[in-house]
Amino acid sequence: GERIPITPLVAYCYMLFVLLYFPCIATLVAIKQESGSWKWALFAAFYTTGLAWGVAFVVYQVGSLLV
């Protein structure tokens, strides 16, 4: 397939995504132990990944309009 060229905007969005997405397994285990339920650990995993995708998507779309 075609590759997206790695522009500074793409690199910035990738960095934002990596900063916000799915926490490490140790963090999920700690959330599970503190809350007593895997429900909160899974919520944290999906919420942070969704938030990261949303932020990167919005920044990319806005950045595409400005560049």
Q: Which residues contact 59 (CB under 8 A, 6 or more apart)?
A: 12, 13, 16
Q: What is the tens place of the pLDDT at every residue in 28-64?
A: 999 999 999 999 999 999 999 999 999 999 999 999 9
What gap in Å lies between CA 51 and CA 20, rounded to an integer? 7
- pLDDT value of position 5: 87
What gap in Å lies between CA 67 and CA 64, rounded to an integer? 5
DSSP-based three-state secondary structure for 4:
coil
Instruction: Give the number of other Cβ atoms within 10 Å of residue 31's Cβ.
Output: 19
pLDDT of 3 higher than 90: no
- pLDDT value of position 4: 73
pTM exceeds 0.85: no
